[in-house]
Structure 1
Amino acid sequence: MKNVGVLAAMTISVLGPASDVDCFFKSVVFFLEGGKRGSRYPLVTEKLYCRSLSKNELAELKIDLESVRAEFNSIPADSFDISAFGVDEENTRLLLSGNTLADIFARFFKIIFDAVECSDVFYKEFNEYVPLRIGFTDAPDYIFDVNRSEDLYNSLASDELPFWRR
C-alpha cells in the first residue's frame, strides 16, 4: 500500500496508508461537521484534504487543527468504529489503543503542526513559500505530487477525489 503524508518546505512526513489519512478527514466530517464537508473546518476538510494551502492560510489552519484536536479529545475511542471508516487494522499507523480520537490521530496533529512550522521557517529564511499539501510520500508518486502545480491542486472541485486517493 502506498504511503501518504504531508509535503511542504523541508518536509516529507509519512502519515500512513491512504486509508488512515482518509479516516482522519472522514472523522472530522462525521464527528465535527455533521456530515457536511467544509461546513466548520474548510481549511482542514477542503483545502488540506485535496488542495494546497497558501502561506496566508497556515496560521488559520493551525488554529482549526487545534480546535479539531480539542474536540477529538472529548470523543471516546470506544465510540469510534475504525473499520466503518475503511481502516485496514493490519496495516495502520493509527494509535488504536488511544483513549480518545485525539489520541488515535496524535501523530497526524504533530506531523501537520511540524510541517506548518517548517513552512514558516523556510519562508522566513529564504523568502520562498512551498505549498503545504497532502500527497504520496513513496517514489515515484511523490515526484509527481511535488511537481504538480498549485493551480492543478486548487482546480479540484469539492466532489473530486484528491490526487492521493487516485
Structure 2
Amino acid sequence: MMLFFDCLKTYAEQDHPEQDWSLLTDRLYRRYLRREEIDKASTLMEQVRQIFAGLPASAIDWDTSMLGNAEKTWLDPKQPTLADVFSKYFENFAKACGSAKFFVEAFNIYQPVRVVISDLPGFARDKNKPLAEYDALEGKPFWLQ
C-alpha cells in the first residue's frame, strides 16, 4: 500500500501540481473519505490510473527482497505499466466506493471509505475507531501504526 501512495505522490502529485490531490494523498491515505467526497475522489483515482497507464512498471525501484515473497507483496513488477501493477488497488477502490454509495441508497447509512489493515485484529480495531480520531490524526495513518 505504501508503494502505491509513494507512486501517487511522485507521478501524480509532484508531476501534476496544478491538480489538488489531497483527497487521495491526505483524506484517503490518512483518514477516510466523507460521503460528499466519493465522486471527486473516484474521478481523481481514475486520473491516477490513466497517469500510471503511461508509466512502465520499471519506473519503480523495486525492493528485490520483497519480490516473489507473497507474505511481503503480491505486486508483479513484470506487468507492463504501473496501472497494471496496481490494478487490484484501482478495482477495490471502485468497489469500496460503489458499496458505500449503495449502502447509503439502501439503508441511508454511510460506511466511510478508508484504508485499513486487512488482518482480522487490525481490521476490527480500525473499523470500531471513531471517525473523530481519524479527523484529529496527524502523522502516520492508523493502518501504518
- Where in structure 1 are there 5+ consecutive unaligned residues? 1-20
The equivalent of 2:115 in structure 1 is 134
Partner Cα distance (1:82, 1:115) in 2: 28
Q: Which has the higher strand share?
A: 1
* 1:147 pairs with 2:128: yes
SS in 1 for 2:116: strand
Partner Cα distance (1:32, 1:82) in 2: 19
Kindly indicate whether the alpha-carbon contact (under 8 Å) linking 2:58 and 2:77 is maintained by their aligned counterparts in 1. no
The equivalent of 1:8 in structure 2 is none
2:86 to 81, 105, 121: 105
Once the two structures are superposed, what CA deviation does each residue of 1:45-95 show, in whole Å capped at 9, x if it has no partner? Answer: 1111010111100000100000000001111112221229xx822221213
Partner Cα distance (1:23, 1:50) in 2: 15
Partner Cα distance (1:22, 1:40) in 2: 20
1:66 to 40, 46, 50: 46
Amino acid at match of 2:66: D
Partner Cα distance (2:61, 2:26) in 1: 23
SS in 1 for 2:58: helix
TM-score by length of 2: 0.90
Quote the RMSD (CA, aligned, Å).
2.0
Kindly indicate whether the alpha-carbon contact (under 8 Å) linking 1:51 and 1:133 is maintained by their aligned counterparts in 2. yes
Larger RCO of the pair (alpha carbons < 8 Å, separation 6+): 1
The equivalent of 1:79 in structure 2 is 59
- Where in structure 2 are there 5+ consecutive unaligned residues? none
User: Could you tell me how far 1:41 is from its partner in structure 2?
Assistant: 1.1
Name the larger-Rg structure. Answer: 2
Stretches of 4+ moved more than 6 A in 1? none
**How many residues of Structure 1 are paired with residues of Structure 2 in the alignment?**
141
SS in 1 for 2:14: coil
2:35 to 39, 55, 71: 55
SS in 1 for 2:115: strand
TM-score by length of 1: 0.79
* 1:162 pairs with 2:141: yes
Kindly indicate whether the alpha-carbon contact (under 8 Å) linking 1:32 and 1:40 is maintained by their aligned counterparts in 2. no
